[in-house]
Amino acid sequence: MSRREAAIGICLGLAAAGSVAFMAAYAAKASAQIEGLALFAALGGFFFATLGYARWIVGEARAQDARDTYPSASADRSGAVGNLEKAERTLSRGGVLTNLLLGALALFGLATLFPLRSLGPAPDGALFKTKWRRGSGLTREDGSVVRASDLEVDSVATVFPENAVGDAASQAMLIRIPSDLGPSVDGYVAYSKVCTHAGCPVALYRAATHQLLCPCHQSVFDVLHSGAVLSGPADHALPQLPIHVDADGVLRATGDFPVPIGPGFWERG
């Protein structure tokens, strides 16, 4: 046995050993790394073995083909076109019936498209409203309502209407700002947490500059000035949630967002 044959033999031995090792590792419920290593060894063995085969056993050979398959001989070409034209003439014997057939087929195709409508409900203005109503208490993820005394200055909370905790469209950022910096309700302002660019949660609050930052595409919104866009690709401000503090000190909405939340869409205007 030559050294080359021996090398290929060793590689094939590795391939076989890798397969056996994988079976053993699988039976022993070994880790992904051990199982993967066994498979890797088997495939690596096959790779080097086939490479050795290709270089030393099979070797190089030369083949040459003529490119004679197309375009076809001119008799075939004119024959194909001629037969098609003949078929067209034959079909045209149907006269108006042929057109009727085509028309009926087109209608049938249109009919098969109609069930697409069953894929989902009509938008019906669903994007224009959220679950916030006049009097909805600002409620945290854990179900507790927020009182005016709860938040430190420059801290934030994610809030929902009390009857729709976790609702994606209604999520809002409640922020307590120093009350001398801008219009607020006892220092509180609340904005939709859905970015007006592509809908990510506007989750990062830069307390030093009073900005909300979207982590997806880095739109920056000004908390002190009605959620206006300061930079980034967002094309309109974050909708502000109108709020007040009730007699018990609980923060409540005075209504829904005045404009649709989230990314823009055709009907938004």
Partner 1 sequence: MLSRLVLWLDDRLGTAHFLKHALRKAFPDHWSFMLGEINVYCFAVLLATGTFLAFNFDPSASKLIYHGPYRLLDGQPMSAAYASALRLSFAVNAGLLIRQIHHWAAVVFVAGIVTHMGRVFFTGAFRNPREPNWWLGILLFLLAMGEGFTGYSLPDDLLSGIGLRIADAVVLSVPVAGTWASFLLLGGVFPGSQTEPRLFSAHVFALPALIAGAIGLHLAIVWRQKHTQFRAPGRTENNVVGSPLFPNYAIKSAALGFAVTAVLVGLGAFVQINPIWLYGPYVAYRAASPAQPDWYVGWLDGALRLSWPWSIHLWGHLVPSPFFPGLLLPLALFGLLAGWPFLEWALTKDARPHQLLDRPRDVPWRTGAGTALFVLALGLTLAGSDDVQARYLHAPIETLTSIYRWFCIGAPPLAFAIAYALAADLRARGGAGRAPRVRLRRNADGGFDEETIA
Q: Report 177-196 residues binding partner 1 (CB under 8 A).
A: 193
The span from the CA of 204 to the CA of 232, in Å, is 14
The span from the CA of 134 to the CA of 244, in Å, is 10
The span from the CA of 106 to the CA of 10, in Å, is 65
Nearer to partner 1, 151 or 168 (CB): 168
Q: Least separation, in Å, of the C-beta of 21 and partner 1?
A: 13
Nearer to partner 1, 93 or 117 (CB): 117
Q: Pick from 16, 23, 54, 97: which binds partner 1 (CB under 8 A)?
A: 54
Q: Least separation, in Å, of the C-beta of 184 and partner 1?
A: 22
Question: Using CB under 8 A, which residues numbered 121 to 150 contact partner 1?
Answer: 121-123, 126-127, 141
Residue 38, Cα to own-chain centre: how many angstroms? Answer: 35
Candidates 100-108, 145-153, 167-175, 239-247; binding stretch for partner 1 (CB under 8 A): 167-175
**Tokens representing residue 36 in the block:** 């993967």
Q: Least separation, in Å, of the C-beta of 92 and partner 1?
A: 30
The span from the CA of 47 to the CA of 170, in Å, is 56
Candidates 57-65, 131-139, 177-185, 241-249; binding stretch for partner 1 (CB under 8 A): 57-65
Cβ(217)–Cβ(233) below 8 Å:
yes
| Amino acid letter for position 56 | W
